[in-house]
């Protein structure tokens, strides 16, 4: 059972219907008991980091998440869900993240002034190490991005893919059974569905 | 590598059917939105725009159920517009499966709606749609209510204002060119690119592959939107991508499986 952690922010139907393409058993919930039975966990996120992490904590979901991670349940953070895996974020304040990955979330400031923020649209995700999450992607794997903040001061060992937007930014991570992607696999057509399918079949 | 330029088929929907008009009138049936959405998603469109073109004119809300069922068909970003009047309307569309919402007439009526929506949901999901017609003085004027109502507002000034208020993108339709298949209003696109920092989606007039290329290269648009040439299968999305790639434009190519 793939569990999407629903903490009341945003529309989760997109990610749910994308997961239903690759798995028959997908559940949206904030119930710790159901989360405890998950064989895969997804942490989505849209909007501001602070608002997201506060909702997660308000619902006492941090404990359920940490518990699942301790049991080595494959865990994928998407967009702001990925950002929450890190130690902290400086978006509209100073917020503590889940601390499952080393690094901090900071504002994207491309050196080229013609590059706009948010980084929004289709960009190429370039694997930098072999990882089952990224198996079977085409040579030019375009994915859909919509974000203004990104992960920095990360552990190079955790970074599995980068994207070029004026500079090289890390956009996919893996550490033990914890995964994170900055882009939206549920909006990234074949490439995104392949990544979700890879996640659903991780061994 | 720069972001890929986006190719966006537009579903103009009236009474639950895709239609296509010429200069906003003389509507011709062009199929079922669900089927069209499914095909475009498969073929490699980068985004879809779903516009309920008579919602504002008829004073009713958008057909939520049609939006919801269309959203089920696509794994690419979906922009929905037509009859969006309030923050609540926008929330409803996002919950129905839209990733972005286009506001047009309502933004003219109450400019605060743009900033309210951007504040609530993020600028990335607020698209301000503007329908413009050339005037006698060599400028452009804004029309609302599906092109039925003249506002007297200067098009370029309104574009600038919409950006200032927090629009994430502009979807600009040349009413003079709409449905004519004689090419985008390139001069308008260039003026807009000089004026605003946010992405501009070119709309109105595309009929050939060259038109799409020119909109991107000469008009410097971030995305090109077209309806007739796709709905009536004059070209496929794949042909468009291949052609633009050959012309040296960065596009997302999809290997059809």
Convert the pLDDT of each residue in B26-37 to its tens digit.
788 888 999 999
A143 is catalytic: no
The helix, strand and coil proportions of chain B, stated in percent and rounded to the nearest 5, come to 35, 25, 40
Nearest to A11 among B94, B123, B198 (CB): B94
- How close is the nearest chain B Cα to the Cα of A181, in Å? 17
The residues in A 6-45 lying below 8 A from B, measured between CB atoms, are: 10-11, 13-14, 17-18, 21
Q: Does the distance separating the beta carbons of B75 and A18 come in below 8 Å?
A: yes
What 3-state class would DSSP assign to A175? strand
Percent of chain A past pLDDT 90, that is, above it, reads 88
Average pLDDT, chain B: 92
Strand, helix or coil for residue A74: coil
Question: Cis bond leading into A118, ω under 30°?
Answer: yes
Whether the per-residue pLDDT at A84 is higher than 80: the answer is yes
Q: Print burial letters for B115-128: b (CB count within 10 Å at least 16), e (below 16).
A: ebbbeebbbbbbbb
Q: How much is the average pLDDT of A158-165?
A: 97
Q: Measured between CA atoms, how close is B78 to chain A, in angstroms?
A: 9
What's the pLDDT score for residue A159? 98
* Mean pLDDT (whole number) for A142-152: 96
Sign of the CA dihedral with A116 first, then A93, A171, and A155 last: positive
Task: Write out the E strands in chain B.
Answer: 6-14, 17-22, 25-29, 48-52, 78-81, 100-103, 126-134, 140-144, 149-154, 169-174, 200-203, 223-226
Q: Bridge partners of A37?
A: none
Count of pairs with CB atoms under 8 A, one residue in A, one in B: 68
Q: What is the mean pLDDT of residues A138-165?
A: 96
pLDDT tens readout for residues B134-169? 999 999 999 998 889 999 999 999 999 999 999 999
Nearest-angstrom CA–CA distance, B105 and A198 = 44
pLDDT in tens, A2-41: 999 999 887 788 999 999 999 999 999 999 999 999 999 9
Contact A123 B3 (CB under 8 A): yes
DSSP H/E element including B235:
none
Q: Is the pLDDT of residue B257 over 60?
A: no
Q: What pLDDT shows up at residue B150?
A: 94
Q: What confidence tens digit (pLDDT) does each residue in B55-113 have?
A: 777 777 667 888 999 999 899 999 999 989 999 999 989 988 999 999 999 999 999 99
**Residue B171 — φ and ψ, nearest 5°?**
-110, 105
Enumerate the residues of chain A whose CB falls inside 8 A of the CB of residue B168. Answer: 118, 120
Calpha distance A170→A156 (Å, rounded): 9
Contact between A18 and B252 using a beta-carbon 8 Å cutoff: no
Helix or strand holding residue B43 (H, E): helix B33-43
A145 CA to centre of own chain: 12
Question: Tens digit of pLDDT for each residue in B35-47?
Answer: 999 999 999 999 9
Answer whether residue A131 shows pLDDT above 90: yes
Record the tokens describing residue B139, joined without a space. Answer: 């400028």
In Å, how far from its chain's centre is CA B241? 19
Question: Exactly one of A91, A147, A177, A186 is catalytic; which is it?
Answer: A186
B242 is catalytic: no
Nearest to A190 among B6, B197, B254 (CB): B254
B-chain CB neighbours of A142 within 8 Å are 4, 252
B75:A189 CB<8 A? yes
The sign one gets for the Cα dihedral B11, B14, B19, B24 is negative
Query: Which residues in chain A are contacts of B46 at CB distance < 8 A?
Result: 122
Kindly list the residues from chain A whose CB atom is less than 8 angstroms away from the CB atom of residue B99: 14, 187
Q: Give the pLDDT confidence score for residue A55 in this predicted structure.
A: 95
Please indicate whether residue B19 or residue B225 has the higher confidence score (pLDDT): B225
Q: What is the ipTM of this complex?
A: 0.91
């Amino acid at each position: 059972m793939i569990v999407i952690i629903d903490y009341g922010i945003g529309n989760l139907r997109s990610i749910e219907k994308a997961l239903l393409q690759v798995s028959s058993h997908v559940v949206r919930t904030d119930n710790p008991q159901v989360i405890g039975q998950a064989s895969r966990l997804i942490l989505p996120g849209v909007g501001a980091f602070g608002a997201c992490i506060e909702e997660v904590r308000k619902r006492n979901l941090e404990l359920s998440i940490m518990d699942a991670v301790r049991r080595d349940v494959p865990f994928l953070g998407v967009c702001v869900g990925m950002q929450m895996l890190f130690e902290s974020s400086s978006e509209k304040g100073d917020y503590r993240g889940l601390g499952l990955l080393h690094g901090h979330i900071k504002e994207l400031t491309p050196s080229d002034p013609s590059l706009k923020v948010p980084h929004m649209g289709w960009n190429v995700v370039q694997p930098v190490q072999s990882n089952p999450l990224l198996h079977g992607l085409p040579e030019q794997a375009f994915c859909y991005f919509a974000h203004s903040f990104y992960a920095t001061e990360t552990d190079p060992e955790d970074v599995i893919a980068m994207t070029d937007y004026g500079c090289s930014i890390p956009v996919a991570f893996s550490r033990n059974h914890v995964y994170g992607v900055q882009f939206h696999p549920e909006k990234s057509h074949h490439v995104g569905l392949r990544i979700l399918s890879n996640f659903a079949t991780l061994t | 590598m720069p972001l890929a330029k986006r190719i966006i088929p537009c579903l103009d929907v009236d009474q639950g059917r895709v239609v296509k008009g010429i200069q906003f009138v003389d509507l011709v049936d062009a199929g079922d939105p669900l089927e069209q959405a499914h095909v475009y998603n498969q073929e490699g469109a980068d985004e879809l725009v779903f516009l309920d073109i008579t919602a504002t004119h008829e004073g009713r809300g958008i057909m939520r159920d049609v939006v919801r069922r269309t959203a089920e068909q696509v794994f690419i970003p979906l922009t929905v517009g037509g009859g969006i009047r309030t923050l609540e309307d926008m929330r409803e569309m996002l919950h129905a499966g839209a990733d972005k919402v286009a506001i047009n007439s309502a933004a003219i009526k109450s400019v605060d709606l743009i900033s309210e929506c951007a504040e609530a949901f993020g600028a990335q999901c607020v698209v301000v749609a503007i329908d413009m017609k050339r005037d006698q003085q060599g400028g452009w004027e804004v029309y609302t209510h599906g092109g039925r109502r003249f506002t007297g507002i200067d098009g370029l000034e309104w574009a600038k204002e919409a950006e200032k208020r927090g629009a994430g993108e502009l979807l600009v339709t040349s009413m003079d060119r709409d449905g004519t298949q004689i090419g985008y209003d390139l001069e308008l696109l260039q003026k807009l690119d000089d004026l605003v920092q946010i992405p501009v989606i070119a709309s109105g007039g595309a009929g050939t592959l060259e038109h799409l290329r020119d909109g991107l290269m000469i008009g410097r648009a971030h995305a090109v939107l077209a309806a007739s040439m796709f709905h009536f299968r004059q070209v496929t999305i794949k042909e468009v991508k291949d052609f633009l790639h050959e012309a040296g434009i960065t596009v997302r190519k999809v290997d059809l499986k």
